[in-house]
């Protein structure tokens, strides 16, 4: 067991997979000698060379187009989009090409492609560089979506993504790169579609991913002082989604709150609430509640940005209202 930052866990995963499999290649803007704009790829260029670690032009369509071509012809590319927001620039390539290649070729062509992207607010990068984009991908069959909340999951999920024969969108929260945590030694893998119960509870189920896992956990700690017991679930991956773990938890607690750093309309929390309502509604003792960004475009102003991002106080308020209900 070692203590690593979220950033160091990403680097280790890339290093281990490139060492294990010569078909794994990495490319994106400034990922080579510069070590990545968020410094998640240092040393890889020096170790693996210019053929396997390549800088690209500032063109998301070029990056993803080249990655799809590389995947189709036998490589396992890891393509970095500096900011996940710009997945919108190459959405056609991802959802209409990469995600559908195996289906349209009757399984003759596969796209073992991992797309890494830094997402999330809290850095003052304003509207075009601060969004969480998971729901842009979730609606399209054929692509998996991972959103790790800890260094251990960042390592284990990225290694799993690289070995997957399907395209994976691997989302890293830019506010988490410096956060530290215990990371197992050895060839550590985390399976997709298996949520983690981070805190057991009996009164309310609180479901979150990525940075919001910490927010939910802090809220649960404060609520425990009031005698309210929260069960905190980290979904880890949104496609596939471990809805069974959520339903199992709701059967014990009778209440559900989702916490997501995204616009409320059509967010992943809506999918969770819908599935629980359709499959386990008689276990609910009150209406499911969602804590989100609302309908706001993320502002540049630090106080305004801070005001819209879900925080422990908003989660606590939601849980209190459920318990009162």
- Note whether 152 and 188 are within 8 A (CB): yes
- In-domain check, residue 191: no
130 and 234 part of one domain: no
Report d(CA 214, CA 147) in Å as an integer. 13
- The Cα 119–Cα 277 span in angstroms is 30
What's the rounded Cα separation, in Å, for the pair 111 and 113? 5
> What is the distance, to the nearest Å, from the Cα of residue 236 to the centroid of all Cα atoms in its chain?
7
Q: Is residue 189 part of a domain?
A: no
Which residue range forms the structural domain that includes residue 244?
A: 196-324
Helix (H) or strand (E) holding 61: helix 60-72
The reported pTM is 0.96
Burial class (CB in 10 A: 0-12, 13-18, 19+), 323: middle
In this structure, are 19 and 159 located in the same domain? yes
Instruction: Tokens 């997945």: give the residue.
Output: 87
- The reply to whether 26 falls in a domain is yes
Residues 277 and 162 in one domain: no
Is residue 151 located within the same domain as residue 210?
A: no
Q: In CATH, what number is assigned to the domain containing residue 208?
A: 3.40.50.920
Phi and psi at residue 310, to the nearest 5°: -55, 140
User: Looking at the 3D structure of the chain, how many domains does it have?
Assistant: 2
Distance from first CA to last CA of the chain, Å, rounded? Answer: 44
Q: Same domain, yes or no, for 24 and 147? A: yes
- Active-site positions? 129
Strand partners of residue 78: 26, 114
Q: Quick one: 13 and 132 in the same domain?
A: yes
Give domain status of residue 190, yes or no: no
Question: How many angstroms separate the most distant Cα atoms in the chain?
Answer: 61
Together in a domain, 77 and 100: yes
Tens-of-pLDDT digits for all 325 residues of the chain?
A: 899 999 999 999 999 999 999 999 999 999 999 999 999 999 999 999 999 999 999 999 999 999 999 999 999 999 999 999 999 999 999 999 999 999 999 999 999 999 999 999 988 888 989 899 999 999 999 999 999 999 999 999 999 999 999 999 999 999 999 999 999 999 999 999 999 999 999 999 999 999 999 999 999 999 999 999 999 999 999 999 999 999 999 999 999 999 999 999 999 999 999 999 999 999 999 999 999 999 989 999 999 999 999 999 999 999 999 988 7
Question: How far is C-alpha 185 from the geometric centre of its chain's CA atoms?
Answer: 22
Distance CA 88, CA 17 (A): 28
CATH number of the CATH domain containing 70: 3.40.50.970
Q: Is residue 46 part of a domain?
A: yes
Q: What six digits make up the tokens of 185?
A: 């030694």
Lookup: tokens for 206: 């609180």
Token digits of residue 142: 């054929």
Supply the DSSP symbol for 178.
T
154 and 220 belong to one structural domain:
no
């Amino acid at each position: 067991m070692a203590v690593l930052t979220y950033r160091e866990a990403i680097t280790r995963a890339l290093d281990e997979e490139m060492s294990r499999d010569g078909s794994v290649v990495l490319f994106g803007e400034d990922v080579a000698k510069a070590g990545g704009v968020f410094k998640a790829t240092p040393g890889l260029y020096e170790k693996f060379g210019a053929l396997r670690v390549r800088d690209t032009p500032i063109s998301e369509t070029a990056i993803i187009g080249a990655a799809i071509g590389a995947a189709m012809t036998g490589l396992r590319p890891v393509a970095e989009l500096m900011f996940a927001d710009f997945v919108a620039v190459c959405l056609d390539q991802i959802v209409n090409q990469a995600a559908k290649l195996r289906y349209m070729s009757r399984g003759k062509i596969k796209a073992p492609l991992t797309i890494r992207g830094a997402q999330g607010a809290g850095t003052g990068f304003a509207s075009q560089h601060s969004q969480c984009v998971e729901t842009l991908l979730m609606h399209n069959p054929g692509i998996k979506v991972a959103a790790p909340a800890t260094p251990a999951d960042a390592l284990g999920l990225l290694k799993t993504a690289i070995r997957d024969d399907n395209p994976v969108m691997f989302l890293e929260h830019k506010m988490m790169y410096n956060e530290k945590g215990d990371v197992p030694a050895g060839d550590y893998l985390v399976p997709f579609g298996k949520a983690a119960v981070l805190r057991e509870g009996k009164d309310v189920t609180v479901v979150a991913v990525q940075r919001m896992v910490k927010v939910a956990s802090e809220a649960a700690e404060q609520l425990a002082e009031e005698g309210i017991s929260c069960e905190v679930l980290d979904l880890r991956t949104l496609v596939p989604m471990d809805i069974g773990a959520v339903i199992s938890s709701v059967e014990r607690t009778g209440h559900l709150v989702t916490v997501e750093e995204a616009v409320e309309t059509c967010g992943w929390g809506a999918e969770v609430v819908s599935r629980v309502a359709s499959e386990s509604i008689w276990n609910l003792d009150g209406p499911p509640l969602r804590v989100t960004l609302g309908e706001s475009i993320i502002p540049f102003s630090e106080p305004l940005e801070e005001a819209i991002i879900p925080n422990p106080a908003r989660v606590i308020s939601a849980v209190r209202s459920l318990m009162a209900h």
